[in-house]
Chains A and B, each alone.
Chain A
Amino acid sequence: MIEVRGLGVSFPGSSSPVLRDVDLDVAPGEQVLVLAGSGAGKSTLLRVLAGIVPQVVDAQVTGHVLVAGLDATTTPTADLATKVGTLTQDPADQLCLPTVLDEVAFALENRGVDPALIGPAVERTLAAVGAAHLAHRRTAELSGGEGQRIALAAALVADPRVLLLDEPTALLDPAAARAVAAAVRAAAGADRSTVMVEHRLDELGRLPARVLVLGPDGRVRSDGATQEVLHDDSRTLAQLGTWLPLSAELSAAGVGALGQLPVAPGSPSRSGPRVLRARGLTVRRGSRTVLDGVDLDVHAGRVTAVVGLNGSGKSTLLLALAGLLTAAGTVSGGSVGLVFQHPEHQFLARTVRDEITWGPRRARATDVDDRVAGALDAYRLTGLEDRDPFRLSGGQQRRLSLAAMAVCGHDVLLADEPTFGQDRRTSAASADSLRRLADEGRGVVLVTHDLRLVGEVADDVLVLRGGQVLAHGPVDAVLADDGLLARAGLPLPPVLAAWRTTDHRLRDVLRALHAAADRATSVPA
Chain B
Amino acid sequence: MNRRRISLSELVLLAVLAVVSGFVYWALVQAWIALQIAMGPFGDLAQHVLIGGWMVAAPLALYIVRRPGVGIVVELAAALVEVVFLASPVGPMLLVVGLVQGAGAELAFTLTRYRRYDWGVFVASGALAGLASTALGIVRFGWLTQDWFVWRLGLQVASGILLCGVAAKLIGDALARTGVLDNTPLGRARRQATPNPVPVA
A positions within 8 Å CB-CB of B: 12-15, 56-58, 350-351, 386-388, 390-391
B80 to chain A, nearest CB (A): 15
Whether A13 and B197, one on each chain, are in contact in the complex, defined by CB atoms closer than 8 angstroms, is yes
Nearest residue (CB) in A for B188 is: A58
Bound: A36/B177 CA distance, A: 28
Chain B residues within 8 Å of A13, by CB: 182, 191, 197
Chain B residues within 8 Å of A14, by CB: 197
Whether A350 and B197, one on each chain, are in contact in the complex, defined by CB atoms closer than 8 angstroms, is no
Whether B183 and A57, one on each chain, are in contact in the complex, defined by CB atoms closer than 8 angstroms, is yes
Size bracket, chain B contacts: 10 to 19
Chosen A-B contacts, 19 in total, with CB atoms closer than 8 Å, are A12-B191, A13-B182, A13-B191, A13-B197, A14-B197, A15-B197, A56-B7, A56-B183, A58-B183, A58-B188, A350-B174, A351-B201, A386-B198, A386-B199, A386-B201, A387-B199, A388-B199, A391-B177, A391-B179
Q: Is B178 an interface residue (CB 8 A)?
A: yes
Bound: A240/B197 CA distance, A: 26
Chain A residues within 8 Å of B201, by CB: 351, 386
Bound: A14/B197 CA distance, A: 6
Bound: A391/B181 CA distance, A: 11
B194 to chain A, nearest CB (A): 9
Q: Please encode chain B, from 184 to 196, with 1 for each CB lying within 8 Å of some chain A CB and 0 for all others.
A: 0001100100000
Chain A residues within 8 Å of B188, by CB: 58
Chain A residues within 8 Å of B9, by CB: 56
Chain B residues within 8 Å of A15, by CB: 197
Nearest residue (CB) in A for B196 is: A13
Whether B177 and A350, one on each chain, are in contact in the complex, defined by CB atoms closer than 8 angstroms, is yes
Chain A residues within 8 Å of B179, by CB: 388, 390-391
Whether A390 and B180, one on each chain, are in contact in the complex, defined by CB atoms closer than 8 angstroms, is yes
Chain B residues within 8 Å of A351, by CB: 201
Chain B residues within 8 Å of A387, by CB: 199
Whether A388 and B183, one on each chain, are in contact in the complex, defined by CB atoms closer than 8 angstroms, is no
Nearest residue (CB) in A for B178 is: A390
Bound: A437/B187 CA distance, A: 39
Given contact pairs A58-B183, A58-B188, A388 touches B7 in the complex (Cβ within 8 A) = no
Whether B182 and A58, one on each chain, are in contact in the complex, defined by CB atoms closer than 8 angstroms, is yes
Bound: A12/B195 CA distance, A: 9
Bound: A386/B200 CA distance, A: 8
Bound: A417/B180 CA distance, A: 24
Question: Knowing that A387-B199, A388-B179, A390-B177 are A-B contacts, what are 16 other residue pairs whose CB atoms are under 8 Å apart, sorted by A's residue number?
Answer: A12-B182, A12-B191, A13-B191, A56-B7, A56-B9, A58-B182, A58-B188, A350-B174, A386-B198, A388-B177, A388-B178, A388-B199, A390-B180, A391-B177, A391-B179, A391-B199
Bound: A12/B181 CA distance, A: 13
Whether A391 and B197, one on each chain, are in contact in the complex, defined by CB atoms closer than 8 angstroms, is no
Bound: A245/B185 CA distance, A: 44
Nearest residue (CB) in B for A392 is: B179
* 5 nearest A-B pairs in the assembled complex, by CB-CB distance: A390-B178, A13-B197, A391-B179, A388-B177, A386-B201
Nearest residue (CB) in A for B184 is: A58
A222 to chain B, nearest CB (A): 31
B64 to chain A, nearest CB (A): 15
A101 to chain B, nearest CB (A): 20
Nearest residue (CB) in A for B191 is: A12
A307 to chain B, nearest CB (A): 34
Bound: A263/B199 CA distance, A: 47
Nearest residue (CB) in B for A354 is: B201
Chain A residues within 8 Å of B177, by CB: 350, 388, 390-391
Interface positions, chain B 27-67, Cβ under 8 Å from A, are none
Nearest residue (CB) in A for B201 is: A386
Which of A12, A57, A386 has the most CB atoms of chain B within a 10 A radius of its CB?
A12
Bound: A463/B179 CA distance, A: 39
B124 to chain A, nearest CB (A): 27
A522 to chain B, nearest CB (A): 31
Nearest residue (CB) in B for A59 is: B183
Bound: A350/B178 CA distance, A: 8
A139 to chain B, nearest CB (A): 15
Chain A residues within 8 Å of B198, by CB: 386
Bound: A350/B183 CA distance, A: 20
Bound: A292/B178 CA distance, A: 40
Which of A13, A58, A386 has the most CB atoms of chain B within a 10 A radius of its CB?
A13
Bound: A387/B201 CA distance, A: 8
Nearest residue (CB) in A for B180 is: A390
Given contact pairs A15-B197, A58-B183, A391 touches B191 in the complex (Cβ within 8 A) = no
B35 to chain A, nearest CB (A): 27
Bound: A386/B7 CA distance, A: 33
A169 to chain B, nearest CB (A): 26
Chain A residues within 8 Å of B180, by CB: 390
Which of A56, A57, A386, A388 has the most CB atoms of chain B within a 10 A radius of its CB?
A388
Nearest residue (CB) in B for A78 is: B8
Bound: A350/B177 CA distance, A: 8
Nearest residue (CB) in B for A389 is: B178
B157 to chain A, nearest CB (A): 30
Nearest residue (CB) in B for A347 is: B178
A351 to chain B, nearest CB (A): 6
A3 to chain B, nearest CB (A): 27
Bound: A56/B179 CA distance, A: 15
Chain A residues within 8 Å of B183, by CB: 56-58
Chain B residues within 8 Å of A391, by CB: 177-179, 199
Nearest residue (CB) in A for B192 is: A12
Bound: A15/B197 CA distance, A: 7
Bound: A350/B179 CA distance, A: 12
Nearest residue (CB) in B for A58 is: B183
Chain A residues within 8 Å of B178, by CB: 388, 390-391
Chain B residues within 8 Å of A390, by CB: 177-180
A418 to chain B, nearest CB (A): 23
B5 to chain A, nearest CB (A): 11
Interface positions, chain B 142-201, Cβ under 8 Å from A, are 174, 177-180, 182-183, 187-188, 191, 197-199, 201
Nearest residue (CB) in A for B12 is: A96
A280 to chain B, nearest CB (A): 34
Chain B residues within 8 Å of A386, by CB: 198-199, 201
